[in-house]
Structure 1
Amino acid sequence: MSHGYSPRWRGFVIAVLRPLLVSLLKRDWRGRENVPRRGGVIVAANHLSWADPLALGHFVYASGRFPVYLAKSTLFTVPIVGAVLRGCGQIAVRRGQLDAGQALEPAREALRAGECLMFYPEGTCTRDPELWPMTGRTGAARLALASGAPVVPIAHWGAQDVLPYGSRRPRLLPRRTMRVVAGPPVDLSRYADVPVTAEVLRDATADIMRAIADLLGELRGEEPPKELYDPRKKAS
């Protein structure tokens, strides 16, 4: 099955959300020229808040692309919300299967259709006490190596002030600034033409997460940690 969407649904979402976001949030955007205007592309970003998708989607749309997210399948069963997600061409994945082959085939179809695919490699909002990116899951790297699509790293800062993780009440006043920066595509050329092993996927994922962490360091004016927070180690 090829990837599809409704231009009317996308137009409706843009007409509703764009002016709303412009009125609610100030913007400090950098690096939009690093988001390719055409062709399949993977955008990999850090995850701070449930407000991330709207703020990042606004940035990507202003860069000339419509964002396609891999969203929890349960959202597609919610009345109205599910219709909007399907109409806009968003991709349903089952919880805990972001790296699984079942989830990646629809994502490959979207890339072949020339979509801008949005990934949160961390899989959830960061648990790092200082809000740096965590280690990532391998889905974005697996998809990039299989498809040859570029991976554009994006870092953002400010969504945690609008809607802190775990909170359901946004803080809209005073008007917050969303700082977003996109870097050049991550160089994954050293993994070309080699067997895609678990080690290769881990190394490619580490390269992607390091690029995101370095961009976030630029936004924050701080040095990112040399070793990213690993929730699996903390849980053991």
Structure 2
Amino acid sequence: MPTRRDRPYRAVVAAARFLFRVLGLRVEVRGAEHLPATGPVVVAANHQSFADFAVVGLPAVQRGRLVRFLAKEAVFRAPVAGWLMRAMGHVPVDRRAGAAAAVRALRLLRAGEVVGVYPEATIGHAFLLKERADLRPGAARLAMETGAPLVPVAHWGLHRVLTVGGRLSVRRGRWVGVVVGEPLVPRPGEGVEELTDRLHARLETLVECLVDRYPDPPRAPVSAWWWPAARGGGAPNAADAARLDRAAMDEADDHAARRRARQR
């Protein structure tokens, strides 16, 4: 049933679609039928761009639904973005005190909503899925506690428009692929970590398949900052990317700690 927060959300969806047209983005969505049209759903997606939510939410929109994303608390402090995030019913997450966000996410799921989670926690500098050890178990835990299907959603290509390192491009015609995998349902005797193992394997496969069919591969991969190092590209290799990922998380945590100290 539509709620008051659906009105600003749908306005943002319309604005995003307009921006896609302005940028000439070639957004291709496959597998939207795998996302249930009713009932609680946990969407788990890879994280490569500051604008991920705009494409991760598209399959749900096609199914007549809206995703309430768990997002870092800092976004909610921005004057305009913060107001919009709250108006759309998204959930702020403080990585060092995440219990409140989990409670709100559970409440949304029990009300039959779609909740979006980024198990990688931060944007990955390698532009492929992070290693299993770096995947957080929160999405699997939410699914197991509520009985909601765990739906993997992978995307690739949006990082060429906006991502870490101040990378911003308004060049028209970028291709962005989005694919929804079949829902994961806990197996008898399976725990949160085992379900997270399966989620990682599924997301990794989906991301790799998107890279396989990317229609505009670089002519000189080694000089393309956005092409994965594992495929000969100029993106950071796995070790360097892991170091950059950790540094980004440490910086965000330190900033949050300083802010909390000022508020005392």
User: Into which bin does the TM-score normalised by the smaller protein fall?
Assistant: 0.7 to 0.9
Question: 2-side partners of 1:11 and 1:36: how far apart?
Answer: 19
The equivalent residue for 1:70 is: 70
Is 178-187 or 62-71 further displaced after alignment?
62-71
Cα distance, 1:11 vs structure 2: 3.1
Cα distance, 1:102 vs structure 2: 2.5
Structure 1 alignment gaps of length 5 or more: 193-199
Answer yes or no: is the 8 Å Cα contact 1:191–1:204 preserved in 2. Answer: no
Describe the shift of the 1:134–1:23 C-alpha distance in structure 2 as closer, same or farther (beyond 3 A): farther
SS for the counterpart of 1:190 is coil
Q: How does 1:203-218 map to 2 (within 5 A)?
A: 203-218=194-209
Q: Does 1:115 align with 2:113?
A: yes
Describe the shift of the 1:63–1:172 C-alpha distance in structure 2 as closer, same or farther (beyond 3 A): farther
Per-residue CA deviations over 1:103-133 (Å, capped at 9, x if unaligned) read 2110011111221111110111124x46233
The equivalent residue for 1:171 is: 169
Answer yes or no: is the 8 Å Cα contact 1:93–1:103 preserved in 2. Answer: yes
The equivalent residue for 1:138 is: 137
Structure 2 alignment gaps of length 5 or more: 214-229, 231-237, 247-264
Cα distance, 1:70 vs structure 2: 0.6
Answer yes or no: is the 8 Å Cα contact 1:157–1:179 preserved in 2. Answer: yes
SS for the counterpart of 1:80 is helix
Answer yes or no: is the 8 Å Cα contact 1:183–1:215 preserved in 2. Answer: yes
Answer yes or no: is the 8 Å Cα contact 1:121–1:139 preserved in 2. Answer: yes
Answer yes or no: is the 8 Å Cα contact 1:51–1:163 preserved in 2. Answer: yes
Per-residue CA deviations over 1:134-183 (Å, capped at 9, x if unaligned) read 3210111111111110001111110121123222x521213201101101
SS for the counterpart of 1:16 is helix
Per-residue CA deviations over 1:58-90 (Å, capped at 9, x if unaligned) read 343223221211112222222222221111111
The equivalent residue for 2:47 is: 47
The equivalent residue for 2:101 is: 103
Quick one: which amino acid aligns to residue 78 of structure 1?
A
Cα distance, 1:96 vs structure 2: 3.6
Question: 1-side partners of 2:78 and 2:28: how far apart?
Answer: 33
SS for the counterpart of 1:61 is helix
Quick one: which amino acid aligns to residue 131 of structure 1?
L
The equivalent residue for 1:14 is: 13
- TM-score, structure 1 length as denominator? 0.81
RMSD (Å) for aligned C-alpha atoms: 2.7
- TM-score, structure 2 length as denominator? 0.73
Quick one: which amino acid aligns to residue 179 of structure 2?
V
Quick one: which amino acid aligns to residue 221 of structure 1?
D
Cα distance, 1:231 vs structure 2: 4.5
How many residues matched? 217
Answer yes or no: is the 8 Å Cα contact 1:76–1:85 preserved in 2. Answer: yes
The equivalent residue for 1:89 is: 89
Question: 2-side partners of 1:109 and 1:130: how far apart?
Answer: 32
Quick one: which amino acid aligns to residue 214 of structure 1?
T
Question: 2-side partners of 1:217 and 1:126: how far apart?
Answer: 14
Answer yes or no: is the 8 Å Cα contact 1:47–1:133 preserved in 2. Answer: no
Quick one: which amino acid aligns to residue 102 of structure 2?
L
1 or 2, which has the higher helix percentage?
A: 2
Question: 2-side partners of 1:70 and 1:130: how far apart?
Answer: 21
**Greater relative contact order (Cα < 8 A, sep 6+):** 1
Cα distance, 1:206 vs structure 2: 1.4
SS for the counterpart of 1:142 is helix
SS for the counterpart of 1:27 is strand
Q: After the TM superposition, list the runs of 4 or more consecutive aligned residues in structure 1 that deviate by more than 6 angstroms.
A: none
Per-residue CA deviations over 1:13-55 (Å, capped at 9, x if unaligned) read 2332222224421122110100111111011111112121222
Quick one: which amino acid aligns to residue 80 of structure 1?
V
